[in-house]
Structures are given as structure tokens and as C-alpha cells.
Amino acid sequence: MSERLEDIAARMVAAGKGILAADESSGTIKKRFDSIGVESTADTRRDYREMLFRSDAMKDYVSGVILYDETIRQNAKDGTPLVKLIADAGAVPGIKVDTGAKPLAGFPGETITEGLDGLRERLAEYYQLGARFAKWRAVIAVSDVLPTTTAVRQNAQALARYAALCQEAGIVPIVEPEVLMDGQPGDHSIDRCYEVTEFVLKTVFNELYEARVRLEGMVLKPNMVIDGKNARKASREEVAEKTVRCLKATVPAAVAGIAFLSGGQSDEEATAHLSLMNELHKPVWPLTFSYGRALQAAALKAWGGKAENVAAGQAAFAHRARMNGLAALGQWKPELEKAAA
Ligand code: 13P
């Protein structure tokens, strides 16, 4: 019998663990590899991800891994499917199913995330390949005048249609409406971020209700409430307090859990913010991480595309995963970073 959505979702937000977002599209992973001077080929992408999935940190701190279409079909160098490496480490394999944010016609500066056509059939195939959760990311730009209600509503409707199709397929949807911190102009205040995030989450949960999505069988992946990257002023405590306040005002208690994106925060900021939320504000849902950049940046650098650096890359990944695992329990302290350096 297939596993219940509620049980999969509970495994994804298990105490002291979080999600590794390794679902960079071919374009995005090329940018990451360019930054370390490594050519992006099917084999280098496989080698890099195999390094992460074989790390010891997986079984202790990683509850799930989000994959890209190419990766869910790839085998490790010795022929073992990468999905099997993940499942053997006790983590849930997941898959990014949107096909990207495209310009929204008639709304300059805003996007609509695509990927609904044929999604039922793709989900059935991904289930066969081992995926038990999926991800869809809507992108919301912020300025004095953006977002428009049209862009927010249309993205929320797409998220809701995606989530309903996932649940029909026995797959837990990660619902990700990202209010950008590092978009243009990126100079908005934390209070502007609060206001936009509140409106976006209210709209998303209304659409999820209209689409009959079961909240107990989904995970929310939101941004933190934080000022734009070109106007960073808010303290770590303020980010933690305003983020939890905004979530309490908008997210029903029935939601299985919340796993944040890092969105361009530094590694340590992303960890510190999560830890403070859990330590000081004790929210009703499990609050954990679903980080891409903030979990991988150090490992990518330490690896540098060289086979002899695999152990160093795994050590860097293990350190970040452990720091974030502690943050998910509200137990991270800045001294722990120095101890490892
Ligand atoms: P970042 O943590 O790098 O923002 O990526 C998370 C993610 O999966 C965005 O969709």
C-alpha cells in the first residue's frame, strides 16, 4: 500500500532534519559551476551530486532531497541509481516539477511559473522513479508598486492546481511562493517584505482551499520576512520575530510543516535566523530548512570539481547540514561555527 501523504510530510519535517534543495536547473547549475571554473556536463553534475548524497551528513540531518529531472534518472559512477543513494540514507527523494518562471504577459517585471500542461502524466512517471514529494516555485517581485494582485493571484492558482495534482498522485507538494529578497531594485524594507509576504500567503492558502488541497499532506516553503539585499538593516532577532508573526497570521495550523528557502542569505544568516525562530518563538508547525545555496556553497567551493577534494567537499557539506540541523531544533550558536573553522 502506498504511504499516506501525512506520513511522508511528517518524514520531510522530522525533528533536527531538513531538506537539501539540489534541484538547480541545467542553467542554474552551470552558473554555480562557472563560479568555481568547472565545466557543466552530465558527468560533472552527477559527480557533484553523488558527492553530496554519499555524505554521512545525509542520514543525520537530511530528511529529503529535491532533484532535477536529469538527476532523478542518473546513476552514480558505480551504477547505483542516485535515488537509491538518497533512500538508503533514510531521506525522501523529491522532484522539481515546474518548468520555470516566465514573463507574465501585460505585467512588466512580473512572472508566472509554468509547468501545468501534462503534469498529471509527469507526476505518474516521477512516482515510478521514486519521488514521494515535489516542488513548484512561484516568484514574486517586490518594489514600491509590485507585486500586482493579478500576478499574485495567478501564481497562487497555479500553485494550487499543482498541489492538487500532486496529492492525487500520492506525492506531497512543497508549495513555494518566494517573495524575492535579491530581486530588483532589492532596496525594500523588512516591513514592505512583511506586507507582501502576508498578502501572498493569504492568497495562496485561499486558493489551496478552493482547490481542495489537504493541508496535512503538504509542506510550505516560504521566504523569511527580511529586507531587500541592497538595504539590509534588520537584526537577526527582528527577522526571526517578524517571520514567525507573519506565518502565524497566515498559515493554518493544519499544515504539516514549514521549510524555508535561503533566497540569497549568507550561510550563517540562514542558519541563525532559523535557529532564533525555533528558540524564541516556538511555532505550532515544525520549522526547518529547504536550502539550496546556503547548504551547498561551501561544499561546492571545497570540491572545486576535483576527485581528490571529494572528502573536503563532504566535510564542508556535513558542517553546514549539522549547523542547520541544530537550527531546526533552536540549538545553533555562533561559537559552533568558529569551533569548526
Ligand atoms: P535557495 O535556498 O538557494 O534559495 O534555494 C532553495 C530553492 O529550492 C529555491 O527554489
Q: Tell me: the pLDDT tens digits for 124-164?
A: 999 999 999 999 999 999 999 999 999 999 999 999 999 99
Name the band, by pLDDT with cuts 50, 70 and 90, for residue 294: very high
Nearest-atom index, ligand 1, CA of 137: 10
Mutate to test the pocket of ligand 1, among 97, 290, 295, 320 (most ligand atoms within 8 A of CB): 290
227 and 189 in contact (C-beta within 8 Å)?
A: yes
pLDDT given at position 341: 55
Average pLDDT over residues 293-303: 98
- Tens of pLDDT, residue by residue over 24-75, are 999 999 999 999 999 999 999 999 999 999 999 999 999 999 999 999 999 9
Nearest to 89 by CA among 293, 340, 327, 314: 314
Domain 5-340 belongs to what topology?
Answer: TIM Barrel (3.20.20)
DSSP string, 8-34: HHHHHT-TT-EEEE----HHHHHHHHH
Q: What is the DSSP string of 175-187?
A: EEEEE-SSSSS--
Neighbours of 79 (CB within 10 A): 6
Instruction: Using the predicted structure, report yes or no on whether residue 118 has a pLDDT greater than 80.
Output: yes
Q: Which atom, in ligand 1's list, is nearest to the CA of 260?
A: 2
User: CB 108: neighbour CB atoms within 10 A?
Assistant: 8
Summarised one tens digit per residue, pLDDT across range 302-320 is 999 999 999 999 999 999 9
Mean pLDDT within 10-23: 98
* pLDDT for residue 340: 64
Choose the residue to mutate in 219, 223, 261, 268 for probing ligand 1, maximizing ligand atoms within 8 Å of C-beta. Answer: 261
Query: Domain coordinates of the chain in residue numbers?
Result: 5-340
Mutate which of 223, 293, 295, 320 for ligand 1? The one with the most ligand atoms within 8 Å of its CB, which is: 293
Question: For the whole model, what pTM was predicted?
Answer: 0.97
Per-residue model confidence as pLDDT tens digits over 158-202: 999 999 999 999 999 999 999 999 999 999 999 999 999 999 999
- What is the reported pLDDT for 338? 82
According to the model, what pLDDT value does residue 28 have? Answer: 97
CA distance 190 to 195: 9
Q: What is the mean pLDDT of the chain?
A: 97
Which ligand 1 atom sits closest to the C-alpha of 261?
2
Looking only at the bridges linking them, the beta strands covering 62-67 and 92-96 are parallel
Query: Which pLDDT does position 282 carry in this prediction?
Result: 82
Give tens-digit pLDDT for 66-104: 999 999 999 999 999 999 999 999 999 999 999 999 999
Name all contacts of 299-303 with Cβ < 8 Å and 24+ positions apart: 299/51, 299/52, 300/32, 300/35, 300/36, 300/48, 301/36, 303/36, 303/48, 303/51
What was the pLDDT predicted at 2?
86
From the candidates 176, 178, 207, 242, give the one annotated as an active-site residue: 176
Q: Is 176 a catalytic residue?
A: yes
| H or E, element range at 150 | helix 149-168
Ligand 1 centroid – CA 1 distance (Å) = 32
* Residue 19 pLDDT level (bands cut at 50, 70, 90): very high
What is the residue-wise DSSP string for 89-132?
TTPEEEEE----EEEPTT-TT-EEE---TTHHHHHHHHHHTT--
Q: Is the pLDDT of residue 339 over 80?
A: no
Is 279 in the active site?
no
Cβ pair 165, 123 in contact under 8 A: yes
In the Cβ-directed half-sphere of 36, how many Cα atoms lie within 13 Å? 20
- 225-277 pLDDT, tens digit per residue, is 999 999 999 999 999 999 999 999 999 999 999 999 999 999 999 999 999 99
pLDDT recorded at residue 146: 97
Q: Whose CA is nearest to atom 8 of ligand 1?
A: 21
Residue 1, pLDDT > 70, answer no
Half-sphere exposure of 96 (CA within 13 A, CB side): 26
Map grid coordinates 561559537 to a residue: 335
- 3-state DSSP helix/strand/coil % of the chain, to nearest 5: 50, 15, 35
Rounded distance from Cα 264 to ligand 1 centre (Å): 8
Residue 294 three-state SS: helix
